[in-house]
Structure 1
Amino acid sequence: MFPHLLQRIISFGTDEKMEQAAVNRIRQINIFYMILVAMLCFSLFWASLTGISILVMESSISLLVILGAYFLFPPSRKPEQSSFLVLVICALLFLTNYLFDLKIDASVVIAFYLLFPLAAVTINGRYGIIVPVVLGVITLAFNSMPFVNEGIHLDLFNSLIFFSGYTMVIIISIFIERSNRELFIRLSSSKDQAESEIVEKDEFISRLSHKLRTSLSNITLINNLVHDDRLSSEQQDLMETLKASTNNLIEDVNNIVEIASPGIIDYKKSIISFDLTRILDEAEGILKSGISGSEEVNIERSDHITHYLIGDPGLLRSLMVNIVKGLSIYKHNQEPVELKIENLRESPSQVRLRFRFRVESELGPDLVTYIDELNRSRGHQSSNLSNAHNLLVESEGALTAKSDGQAAVLYFFQDFTKDPTRSVVEPAQEPQRDSFHKKGIALKNATVLLVEDNVINQKIVLLSLKNQVNQIDVAAHGKEALEMFGLKQYDLILMDIMMPVMDGIVATKKIREIESTSDQHIPIIAVTANALAGDRENCLAAGVDDYIAKPFSAEVLIKKMKKLLT
């Protein structure tokens, strides 16, 4: 009980969003204030018992001044002023007890004098040494002056020893502060270098995985194109060996993906008008179609939104998917994650919503600790919750965790602008969405747009689909795909992600922006070698309907295409 209370007092005014250096600084100042208050309280108590009225008065006034300084200049908001002010107050206390006889033992006063420079540089850095230096000069100047009720007045020999020692302590304090500052700079540099190396490693593995997967996908598709009835028995054995070797290599690449997954998603912001209900439905669909298992979420809404919202639907979709998946490891049963959406503040043009996720779990304290670690480490970890944290940080938001012992809770806030030109249609009145392709169309008769920058990849995909699709147009990058999309009506789009000029993520978002003004919805399948952690969620959050990672078989791609067209 007492250690917990002490920790709360020391950490008073700190926030989980603060940098660790700022938190340590506030704690140091709080400790200094706490020690000073404790000493003054003890002095007041002892003086009251012994009847030393002058000491009672000094302790009372000093205590009031200290408390007033703390609340007028709180360390959490004004650390520089607060730390400097408490040092000045301490210096005045020491000087008063040195010059006047307040019934405090001289050895105690001198001991505090000698410790003061070390304390000053601890809480106020190199500028903190100014106060002890000024205190030493003033004390030396007044040492030989006569005072009424004078206190400690050293003779020449003792004053020489005392002020020599005091000067030595100041020099040592300066040296310690400089050493600590240099150490902090080196540690910060090492940390930045380590983080940079991690990012470089992740980028290298991402590029390597992309190249390997692209080549393996081509080999796999070519294997499927070679018909066994054209081969001799010996050639069939060789093809089977080639297929087996390819599968082994695919497994090795997948192992690389499992070991090295970058934790930061490169998410591009897109502000458009959107229907919140539709975005929630899409996120639920993504969660139910997860390759690692279906995730259930129960949504309770009390927002009463009647207009379309202007904001980033991709961000909201990605946050919901990552948080629900991240909370799944904290569940102790198969109960779904509960999501409650609340309208906290609404004006004629703006609305603030709170998205509150809750799971029944006894691991709530662990979740709080993990989110706190993410805030301290700037989110450089690889997990769904880390992805959500990073996305919120980029959008100037925050992910907050709480625990009540029986449940783990995460929530965040999002501000949106109302779209006055578009109202949400009631379910009974809502027109049939996606009317363009909901009628169903055979794959053979569909008009497909393939967006792929690599000529070899284009050729292999076209060969794989030539007996399945009559009409396939090819775009070399996202910008060309947008131009073709504006000129021709397509039934389905196969979208590569990593391309020059305009990548697949940006192209998909722009297509969805165009569609937001109509009832059309063209199915888009992300066909990509980007298969590291977060890549699938990033693609789905951008608005693709399905995702297939290279290497893949033509049968799997055809199955996905048929599913979206019927």
Structure 2
Amino acid sequence: MRNLVYFILFLVVFIDGIYTLLTDQTFYAIPLLIFSLIFGFHFLYLGRRAHSVGVRNSFAFFALLIFLYLIIFGGSTGLGIVWLVLLPVFLFSLFGKNKGTIISLTFLIIVAGYLFGLSTILPLVYKYTLPEKIIYSSILLAMILITYATYHTFSEVILNKELRMLNSQNFNKTQEELISKLSHQIRTPLSNITGIIDILEKTNLSDDQRDYINTIHASSNNLVNVVNSMVAATTTNFSQIPDEEISFNLYATINNTIKLFQEENDKKQFDLSLSADIPNSVIGNSIKVKQIFLNLLNSILKYNKSESKQVTIEVTRKETLPNKLVLKFRIVSNTIIPLPKDELKEEAFYAKEIIRLNTNKYINLLELGITQKIIEMDGNQLDIFPGSVNTAFEFTATFKENLKSQSINSIVEPSKQSGNFFKPKVDMADANILLVEDNFSNQQIIILYIKNEVQKIEVAFNGKEALDKFGKTKYDLILMDVQMPIMDGFKATQKIREIEKSTGTHTPIIAVTANAFPEDKEKCMAVGMDDYISKPFQPEDLIKKIKQHLSS
């Protein structure tokens, strides 16, 4: 806007000068052309430094000088009136609202003094009629007032907008810091809990004990998902659910989950039935099944306002594919789920096709977002069909038929190259690993995770101690915490990478941290770490990453 005003003012003077030159009015032409050259020089060269006080003053001086010349000598094209309109805009753009107002009003007084005083007695100058004097003075005054009002309104709006934006940014930053701190504080003990659960699962347990452990595991997974949703509203990380598939009794798993919701003398009635063509034992993820049913039954009973609650669970075989068993789960409850009236269409309420379109609304209402994502992980979907009497929940899940009644280990993904550095592959059992962690409990948990796979593990309590050990011992891999006293994991990683530049070596570093924001992972990678895993995590995930980087 400012440059446009400069250009128009320059153009006015230049056109006036050329016109007077062509009409042989040399007396007017020479000063106008000189002024246009000076103003053009300001526009093209000094305009780049328009924020300089000296340049602004020079701009203003020549602009006012040109305007006075046009007022005194009248000009020959009549374009001088353009200066009346644009001069206040020009001055305000140079000096701002307050100083621009003072300079403009001062100049208005000078111009009015000339028009109503000196212009009547000075010889060889343009003689103004009384109407012209009033019009010129009025236009200049009006433009000063309009420009002031515009700048005042604009500055107030911008100021308020920036203030609101600043307050919003400060609030969001405070909220993010609070959530980040809370997430970190929750993840550390939660990681220890899930770690102990994983270790207990690998011990000799009775069927009842194993079922209790699975229930705790599923509940802790739900808590982990809640924490994840705090730091990433758009995506939820479900890597804490074990990938391994085991042989388990589907009926017993669902039935044991139902027992958690049954109390003495309550009026809940559950009916569980599996079709006859479903085998007793299937191969799949029993914890995931229990987690889904925990969430669904909790939401169903929470929104069931009936005095006598009835829940029917039917499991049928949907289809049998090569090496796959696809089962359909249908849960029907005397639960009525109302949506706001403006979201309902009475004539289509019972139409299955329309209800399917509203599934996401019901999922949000019942707080089943996490459950939906768990189901969708395997390419399935959750459907909700509300009716006037009952509400039905349907989803499918894929299993394998248990032909040999034994566990199946997860297939390890092919390893990826983590860098361009040459180094021999190292078996995990022979690896020398440095664990950098300041929390003693966390140290013990991670050591318990990997001690059966790794024979040699050394511990450093902070980044400084890790650097000292790194300078004396060759390690095949480093597990690095991020938040530590004396020297954090970021600084320690940078120092290690600087040392390695002179030796041409590269030691894989995996960040093991409770910081779970997306930018935390980016920061870990930016300082030179090779991988990242956030607490809580499954032992299998950590071991998988270690094997990947030792063999890459």
Scaled to the shorter chain, the TM-score interval is 0.5 to 0.7
- Provide the rounded CA distance (Å) in 1 between the counterparts of 2:440 and 2:232: 29
Partner of 1:242: 216
Match of residue 551, structure 1, among 513, 518, 536: 536
- Provide the rounded CA distance (Å) in 1 between the counterparts of 2:4 and 2:52: 13
Partner of 1:127: 99
Unaligned runs of at least 5 residues, structure 2? 236-419
- Provide the rounded CA distance (Å) in 2 between the counterparts of 1:515 and 1:51: 81
Please tell me the residue identity of whatever aligns with 1:120: L
- Provide the rounded CA distance (Å) in 2 between the counterparts of 1:258 and 1:565: 31
Is 2:195 aligned against 1:221?
yes
Contact 1:221 1:553 in 2 (8 A): yes
Is 2:50 aligned against 1:65?
no
- Provide the rounded CA distance (Å) in 1 between the counterparts of 2:165 and 2:38: 41
Partner of 2:69: 96
- Provide the rounded CA distance (Å) in 1 between the counterparts of 2:446 and 2:203: 22
Contact 2:20 2:76 in 1 (8 A): no
Is 2:512 aligned against 1:512?
no
**1:501 aligned counterpart, secondary structure:** coil
Partner of 1:149: 124
Please tell me the residue identity of whatever aligns with 1:503: D
- Provide the rounded CA distance (Å) in 1 between the counterparts of 2:10 and 2:142: 28
Please tell me the residue identity of whatever aligns with 2:99: Y
Displacement, 1:256?
3.6
- Provide the rounded CA distance (Å) in 1 between the counterparts of 2:127 and 2:80: 9
Is 2:111 aligned against 1:136?
no
- Provide the rounded CA distance (Å) in 2 between the counterparts of 1:193 and 1:201: 12
- Provide the rounded CA distance (Å) in 2 between the counterparts of 1:434 and 1:104: 80
Is 2:22 aligned against 1:37?
no
Within 5 Å, which residues of 2 pair with 1:52-201?
Answer: 54-57=27-30, 59-75=32-48, 80-103=53-76, 112-113=83-84, 116-125=87-96, 126-143=98-115, 144-145=117-118, 146-153=121-128, 177=151, 180-181=154-155, 183-201=157-175
Distance 1:83 1:239, change over 3 A: same
Contact 2:435 2:478 in 1 (8 A): yes
Contact 2:6 2:90 in 1 (8 A): no
Contact 1:492 1:565 in 2 (8 A): yes
Displacement, 1:190?
3.4
Partner of 1:461: 446
Partner of 2:463: 478
Deviations 1:118-177 (A, max 9, x none): 54213431333454344334435544332223324566x997997688668657755665
Displacement, 1:66?
2.1
Distance 1:129 1:229, change over 3 A: closer
- Provide the rounded CA distance (Å) in 2 between the counterparts of 1:251 and 1:218: 16
Displacement, 1:178?
5.4
Contact 2:74 2:80 in 1 (8 A): no
Please tell me the residue identity of whatever aligns with 2:95: N
Is 2:509 aligned against 1:524?
yes
**2:62 aligned counterpart, secondary structure:** helix
Contact 1:73 1:81 in 2 (8 A): no
Within 5 Å, which residues of 2 pair with 1:370-385?
Answer: none
Distance 1:518 1:114, change over 3 A: closer
How many residues of Structure 1 are paired with residues of Structure 2 in the alignment?
363
Larger Rg: 2
Displacement, 1:496?
1.0
Within 5 Å, which residues of 2 pair with 1:359-398?
Answer: none
Contact 2:509 2:531 in 1 (8 A): yes
**1:148 aligned counterpart, secondary structure:** coil
Partner of 1:202: 176
**2:165 aligned counterpart, secondary structure:** helix
- Provide the rounded CA distance (Å) in 2 between the counterparts of 1:115 and 1:559: 71
Displacement, 1:32?
1.1
Distance 1:487 1:240, change over 3 A: same
Partner of 1:423: none
Contact 2:511 2:532 in 1 (8 A): yes
Contact 1:451 1:493 in 2 (8 A): yes
Match of residue 535, structure 1, among 514, 520, 525: 520
Contact 1:494 1:524 in 2 (8 A): yes
Deviation larger for 534-543 or 134-143: 134-143
- Provide the rounded CA distance (Å) in 2 between the counterparts of 1:87 and 1:42: 20
- Provide the rounded CA distance (Å) in 2 between the counterparts of 1:260 and 1:136: 59
**1:64 aligned counterpart, secondary structure:** helix
Aligned residues: CA RMSD = 3.7
Using structure 2 for the length normalisation, give the TM-score: 0.56
Unaligned runs of at least 5 residues, structure 1? 1-27, 262-431
Distance 1:564 1:233, change over 3 A: same
- Provide the rounded CA distance (Å) in 2 between the counterparts of 1:141 and 1:528: 76
Please tell me the residue identity of whatever aligns with 1:528: T
